[in-house]
Chain A
Amino acid sequence: MPAPVSADSIIADLNRLWVSLADPSAAPESQAVLRACAMTLVVVAEESGEAVRIAEVIGDVMRDYPNRAVIVRVREGGEPMLDCHVTAQCWMPLGTRQQICCEQIEVTVSDSNLPGLIPILLAIAAPDLPRVLWCRSARIFRLPAMAALFQRADKVIVDSAGFPDARTALEELRSQVARGHRVMDLSWTRITRWREIVAEIFEDPARLELVRTMRRVVVEHAGNGTPATAYYLAAWVMACTALEGVEVRFEPVPAPGGGIEGIVLVSDGHSVSVRRAEDAAALIEVDSLKGCTVVPRLREAELLRSELGVSGRDTVFERSVPIAARLAGR
């Protein structure tokens, strides 16, 4: 019968792991490994599927943000169970002979045992370093047991694109932000480049007149349902300009995927538009001036890496979420 899973047993396993990795007799030709940890990254996902994808994403971000990764796979229904094992993820940077290793703790838990797992997750977080929770499931995000994790995490990352609909997702995120939780949405990260492009247009003070007289914001998106990214982009414009009475429209356009395809800002006598031209490029039109810029479609690992690079509160996001939720709820 396996020993019960506890914080002490996991820490002891990690300890043994490092002692064994540091043992020169195990691989006398190699130099000692370097233990790297800049944060604790807890990934909570459904047990079904995704295992390979999560491992790839974690392996990808680990080189820039070495972390104690805790991957929790939650089994919906079924017999109560809790299982855990620890491993090390190692790599050898180009041109060196020293391996860099990060800890990885994999936990499988049934829904019913999730509340009992939360104190263990809190106890095994690497002390004195940021604690980031990446919740990959809308169902798990809503479980009451998760509240204690949200409260103690320095950052909670979700992806509203995985929620059944944008309206519910934004309302739930608004509610979490209102409670003071440091929630972040990868859909918000997806619009970072769009925000940069729009902001750069208005670096020229002469164009600020357009902002002051803006009457309409149109966000164009692919797919039938309006995605959260579209609401975020419009909400961000509204939060930045703080204008009253601006008309906000969301217009579907024929395009693959379900992301943003363009944004148009209309004022008295002026117009600004940024529209995706090809897969990774956008056409900018400011009145009669035209230009082109890059708008890459980011992979999940790139989105996560970008989010992990922001360690403080994202006050712009927190100001934009309630507006986005309101726009989605109209």
Chain B
Amino acid sequence: MPALYRLACDRRLPPGFAVIGTSRTPLSDEQFREKIRGAIAQFSGSTVDGDMWRVFSGTLFYTPGDIGDPESYRRIGARLADVEKRFETGGNALFYLATQPSQYEAAADGIGAAGLARGNGWRRLIIEKPFGRDLASARELNEHLQRIFPESEIYRIDHYLGKETVQNILAFRFANGIFEPLWNRRYVNQVQITAAEAIGVEGRGAYYQEAGALRDMIQNHLLQVMATIGMEPAATYEAGAVRDERAKLLRSVRIMKPDEVAVNAVAGQYGPARLGDKDVPGFLQEPGVRPDSQTDTYAAVTLFAENWRWAGVPFYLRTGKRLPRHVTDIAIHFNAAPHAPFADSDSGGITPNLLIIRIQPEEGISIRFLSKQPGGGMRLRPVSMDFSYGASFGSREPEAYETLLLDAMRGDSTLYIRQDAVEASWAVVEPVLEVWGNQKFEFPNYAAGTWGPVAADEMLSRRGHVWRNP
């Protein structure tokens, strides 16, 4: 709702817009509006403007109901018809399931049975990850939803794809002539994608221990980022073309054999530590977590895209909780210069060029290269050339959900995940999940506030690489 409110403030919502909220809590329209106002004040990071709120709140309605109760959908249908007349929505409706994933099928069934999946205008369904718990359940979910909505009207949100900087990867790669010629196995030595969180599970221990880092982050967000980094250029910036290329990249990722998992994937779980002026608990000490939990709060994998462009280039993906800082970035490590004429100079070690795409929090792009230090002798020093979104563009950057919700209303699914990409992603992580599921780990294996377990360093050192710490 904060995203919708910000869109309203920016006057980017389409005409004929209204929201019908539903949940089991009995609320009047007015009570619903007050609740939303509180949420906006809390999460939007700005104060709620009086005039704007009066206009926006007039588009908010509420109908209590239960997901499993057919009568609830009949009431929603009646409200939809009412809103259609009052706001001239043209019969268009977007169903956003902000529910537990386990209830997606029941909710879609209810919508379908009440005849709400078809109408005078378009009818679309938005769901959020996780899309299944494994390949089989993802396929089952897809098949189920497609019985009610056509695939073209199912919008699977991965909010990473809505981030400005992730979208900018495409602009960076395909709108500039100087980078794309280097974007291949001949010049790129390795790619590291890091999504680090400084926080722990923050009271969501019970939920998180059923998911884990591999399922929660790598299967969706990081594989989508990898696909965006590695995909071939699409002929046009249209949903079908871009999503085809992303899916192709994911399908080209080599599926690990069970005996390859030990050297290409690392699981971790954080232990307690003192950070700053406070003691932070380990995962096993978090409320709601089983004392013998084997959940991975850290996961790192080495993947290879088996195609002409990327053959032999490792893609290292890692994510974790309670790492030193909240940061998501992509580091493209280029090959070192073929000959180092300055090998004997005081260089502190010749370091290869790096291109860093920072997704959050300091959105921007950096290039690292070596430069001669002013003065006598040939003393080299790494320097960094920085582009910062915040400092370069004065305007407010839209939040991922603003972009994604607006796209869904416009019928642009470019930044949404298609069924084949979901299934390809599950196919990549499933062998790892299976091996880990049958393994007993010695957890915890990294202290809170560090960059993960030693085994993750060893995974890279086997190829002569080291993690770059953002």
A residues neighboring B (CB under 8 Å)? 4-8, 11-12, 14-15, 18-19, 21-24, 32, 35, 37-38, 64, 80-82, 113, 115-117, 119-120, 122-124, 126-130, 154, 309-313
Contacts and interface: CB of A to CB of B under 8 A. Distances in A.
Interface string B368-387: 10000111000111111010
Contact of A122 (B324, B346, B349, B388): B324
A267 B142 CA distance: 90
Interface of B: 198, 273-278, 324-327, 346-349, 354, 356, 361-362, 366, 368, 373-375, 379-384, 386, 388, 390-392, 394, 449-450, 468-470
Contact of B325 (A11, A21, A64): A11
A154 B276 contact: no
Contact of A4 (B276, B348, B362): B276
B346 A312 contact: yes
B468 A309 contact: no
Nearest to A32: B391
B384 A129 contact: yes
B348 A311 contact: yes
Given A18-B391, A22-B392, A119-B324, A35 B386 contact: yes
Contact of A127 (B348, B449, B450, B470): B470
Given A18-B390, A38-B381, A128-B468, A7 B278 contact: no
Nearest to B280: A116
Contacts of A117: 276
B361 A116 contact: no
A12 B326 CA distance: 10
Nearest to A154: B348
A81 B375 CA distance: 43
Contact of B381 (A14, A24, A122, A130): A130
A18 B388 contact: yes
Contacts of B384: 37, 126, 128-129
Given A37-B384, A128-B366, A312-B348, A82 B276 contact: yes
A6 B356 contact: no
Contacts of A22: 388, 390-392
B279 to A, nearest CB: 8
A120 B276 contact: yes
A262 to B, nearest CB: 28
Contacts of B366: 128
B383 A6 contact: no
Contact of A119 (B273, B349, B379, B391): B273
Contact of B347 (A14, A24, A32, A311): A311
A116 B325 contact: no
A76 to B, nearest CB: 17
21 contacts: A4-B276, A6-B198, A6-B275, A7-B198, A19-B390, A22-B388, A22-B390, A23-B394, A24-B394, A35-B386, A82-B276, A113-B276, A119-B324, A120-B275, A122-B469, A126-B384, A128-B366, A128-B368, A129-B382, A312-B349, A313-B348
Given A38-B383, A128-B382, A129-B382, A11 B277 contact: no
Contacts of A24: 394
A221 B55 CA distance: 83
Contacts of A113: 276-277
A79 B236 CA distance: 63
A6 B200 CA distance: 14
Contacts of A38: 381, 383
B85 to A, nearest CB: 46
A11 B368 contact: no
B470 A119 contact: no
A122 B449 CA distance: 10
Contact of B276 (A11, A19, A116, A311): A116
Contacts of B392: 22
B397 to A, nearest CB: 11
